[in-house]
Structure 1
């Protein structure tokens, strides 16, 4: 039997029967390159079809950033004056989806987008009279805290029970924002959007940190529930750990709010008091609200005399005390005898101790935003100087630098200085705690008055410089949360509105319209019991910050171990 010849260097391999030769011929055949129109069209269609995945991939890159931005917008929409508190839950669920499993840098960027979507519309009132630059700068800076929280949430999202750590990280971000820079800016705490929500009773348990934590936890828990459901559909199994985390993240906040309901009570413990709130209105909107000398004071004195006439006629009850707003005397009554005479006439007419807001200008030193206790027949007997003055509003940090961007800083020609004493006035036997306007946003400023014996709270405010913006409604919601947090009635007298009287359960029993001269008279319960939130002070916030720190530390340790394992 003959052996088959191997193809050597000079030999040719024969092609298999029925197949074309794969060898390379010595002479290349001429190939036609003519393309018909039909072939060209088919090629274009194929090219377009092949490009679709790339276009889809490019579009998909914007899905998570868009979701993060939308989550911030939903948070904004959950705030007053809209009664849409529940939108905070899908907002946090969407934020959780955006950040879950992301790298730290991506978490920071996505968090910043969420912060802009939330704070840009929420704080638009800060540019009401001074232009967009201060508003945009404030929102851009405050959004950095949300960005940092986004980074932290992305870091802890790979941990077991991550919704708990993520909610703690959010509260840690709020705590930092409430303290730095320039004493902090807690406007926009999630708790302040929950005055109408089912979680409100938790404010009495641990204040705004616990209330905000519950909302964030429930929102993240909703996303975890969706994620577990998708895992079940993909694998046919239910992972017990994530399922338990999802269920408890939703159920615990809701159950806790129901369990806290007995802490919310408006039953009088120390009797009742009949209180009047005066809203005199201002002659014009904006920064020039007090440009007509003594007009703001005259407006408030006139409303007080009207109330006195109704009391005398028997159509209104005699108030135990009367509360005027912040800046209700637009000139210093200590330095201007005519102002003092106007106040004295109104107070003597109504025959009740009256709290008057005034700007006090001592011969030297800084201005003082002062509340004065004015007694009938006795005159001023006590004062409270606002302790947390507003940066860039009542005083200008870095004045020379800020002037480069906005010349309105020079309208604050003389800075205000902070007071040092806790404000509690004894008005006809009732201990009234004082938190002036901006101070209502700070947990410590309100809690201090209750721990010093306040049976009722008042938040005298001047919102005339913010026009008809949402600012006044956002601030009113804060006072409602404070009422439940400390189980105290809260009276909010405002120069231009909205003024309101709030019971200890957060219900508004009487309110005014904006930029309308008016007054309110109501009988309110007086209470002395301290809620757990009042007694615990900053402890709940510190514990939640510790939860966040523990989660971040755990995530960092796991990342280090994983890096070492790869190397």
Structure 2
């Protein structure tokens, strides 16, 4: 009977957590209602307050699984079971948040420890398993709001902290039992963060030098072609789009670019080994007379292995600098525990050869300008961005292939992440996609150009060259480590308090003086 009553009390909290997960999922693209994050966080905390750790685990799991189910339904293109598995896996991180937050909320400085603990959970999701999946960070939702400008100063982890903190302050204002003075302080601090960020001005100017770059989106053919035919068609589409660009340049309708950028998978056939693919690329390069950064899948380094690369193809010297993707997608580009899983999951054979991660950042000097090349999903990994900026990248380039996820919301989410990277680094980001979304993002996160999906699109941008560093890139990973450390410290303090409280409950009160005297009298 008692268990049924406890379950009945827990059901409304689980329902509140599910609602909070839905709201947070709708904060992101393609729904794009970031202010909902400031509703979801306090609602989630309200569901966790005053319950046991076991109940907190269940409530946290309900929140996290719902959140990722709303955030990444596009994975169902691969398979419904894949989408469910990812939602459960990532949701478990928030189950542990719920487990620990039930105790952290009891601390005096809970309003500090909770957002730090949130950053720690995001850090964990970005690291494990298989290199992590940093797609659900609070910061990604805020490319259109003034609060997002703080990323230039505190980075992506710091912005997630600020968003969580504002949510915590909203909860503190509404929380039953909060003193009037504390409510006033929380309200004032929250308003200062929200409206103070609107006063931040981010420059879109560089260091005086500019570069003209052409992003080529050649588009992809429809389904139904056999592999080589489809792959060759994609490459030919990019060749033809580049030739059309050159015609416009010759006609005086377009300025001649200094560099041309083709997307990831603009050729899935190794141009080092296939004469026809190599001839297509060289035709394009010689036509425009400037280097093309080609997105190519190359064979090797070992048997049944491949790499996703960006290759600088020069009109005079041919293929030169080469960057290999450092964060291939597990179960999409490579199979963890391949030998053990393939015999039991035949569908994994569709992955093909094992993608081997590259070594070193994509820092590419091309005709006096240093580009930082980032390929597709690895855009979401802090170390990839940090490494190219520290390596001297003056302009960022994203080569991507979102054709599989076209029309699902994933390209919009990736575009929003790209905008946050522009703000964080203070650099122009040039995006080339096979089928969209391609575009140009200014250093303040505003959009200069954004292509439609599944069309051919060529855009020539004049981008400022930037040598300086934002405070965020100067600080690097320190904010994340410090905030994570504080989150873990708050957790330790909460567990100590919990243990102390349990010890006090189990220790009997000291006997009174008269009682002790009576105990000494022999019977």
What TM-score results when the alignment is normalised by the length of structure 1? 0.85
RMSD: 2.2
Corresponding position: 1:250 with 2:193? no
> Following TM superposition, by how much is the alpha carbon of 1:77 offset from its aligned partner in structure 2, in angstroms?
0.3
Aligned twin of 2:97: 149
- How many residues align? The count is 503
Q: Deviations for 1:229-273, whole angstroms, at most 9, x for unmatched residues?
A: x547xxxxx454x436623652453366346x24x2111214211
Aligned twin of 1:63: 12
> Following TM superposition, by how much is the alpha carbon of 1:73 offset from its aligned partner in structure 2, in angstroms?
0.7
Corresponding position: 1:194 with 2:142? yes
> Following TM superposition, by how much is the alpha carbon of 1:285 offset from its aligned partner in structure 2, in angstroms?
5.1
Match of 1:177 among 125, 132, 144: 125
Aligned twin of 2:308: 369
Match of 2:70 among 90, 97, 121: 121
Corresponding position: 1:500 with 2:415? no
Aligned twin of 1:307: 245
Aligned twin of 2:516: none
Counterpart Cα distance in 2 of 1:389 and 1:173: 22
Counterpart Cα distance in 2 of 1:245 and 1:154: 23
Which consecutive unaligned segments of at least 5 residues does structure 1 have? 1-54, 233-237
Q: In the superposition, relative to structure 1, how do residues 154 and 287 fare at CA in structure 2: closer, same or farther (>3 Å)?
A: farther
Corresponding position: 1:226 with 2:174? yes
Q: In the superposition, relative to structure 1, how do residues 461 and 349 fare at CA in structure 2: closer, same or farther (>3 Å)?
A: same
Aligned twin of 1:16: none
Aligned twin of 2:511: none
Structure 2 contact 376–399 (Cα < 8 Å) conserved: yes
> Following TM superposition, by how much is the alpha carbon of 1:133 offset from its aligned partner in structure 2, in angstroms?
1.1
Equivalent residue of 2:392, what SS? coil
Structure 2 contact 406–453 (Cα < 8 Å) conserved: no
Aligned twin of 2:159: 211
Aligned twin of 2:326: 387
Instruction: Please say which structure displays the higher CA radius of gyration.
Output: 1
Aligned twin of 2:59: 110
Aligned twin of 2:85: 137
Corresponding position: 1:512 with 2:451? yes
Counterpart Cα distance in 1 of 2:375 and 2:320: 19
Structure 1 contact 511–520 (Cα < 8 Å) conserved: no
Q: In the superposition, relative to structure 1, how do residues 285 and 80 fare at CA in structure 2: closer, same or farther (>3 Å)?
A: farther
Structure 2 contact 242–288 (Cα < 8 Å) conserved: yes
What TM-score results when the alignment is normalised by the length of structure 2? 0.92
> Following TM superposition, by how much is the alpha carbon of 1:61 offset from its aligned partner in structure 2, in angstroms?
3.9
Q: Once structures 1 and 2 are overlaid, which stretch shifts more, 62-71 or 249-258?
A: 249-258
Which consecutive unaligned segments of at least 5 residues does structure 2 have? 508-523
Match of 2:421 among 453, 472, 482: 482
Q: Once structures 1 and 2 are overlaid, which stretch shifts more, 298-307 or 200-209?
A: 200-209
Counterpart Cα distance in 2 of 1:363 and 1:433: 23
Counterpart Cα distance in 2 of 1:152 and 1:464: 40
> Following TM superposition, by how much is the alpha carbon of 1:342 offset from its aligned partner in structure 2, in angstroms?
0.8
Q: Deviations for 1:431-467, whole angstroms, at most 9, x for unmatched residues?
A: 1001111110100101110101000001100111223
Match of 2:113 among 151, 155, 165: 165
Counterpart Cα distance in 2 of 1:368 and 1:393: 13
Equivalent residue of 2:35, what SS? helix
Aligned twin of 2:205: 267
Aligned twin of 2:476: 537
Equivalent residue of 2:359, what SS? coil
Counterpart Cα distance in 2 of 1:564 and 1:215: 37
> Following TM superposition, by how much is the alpha carbon of 1:427 offset from its aligned partner in structure 2, in angstroms?
1.9
1:2-41 superposed matches below 5 A: none
Structure 2 contact 10–55 (Cα < 8 Å) conserved: no
Corresponding position: 1:353 with 2:291? yes
Aligned twin of 2:461: 522
Q: Deviations for 1:346-370, whole angstroms, at most 9, x for unmatched residues?
A: 1111122110011111373421111
> Following TM superposition, by how much is the alpha carbon of 1:289 offset from its aligned partner in structure 2, in angstroms?
7.6
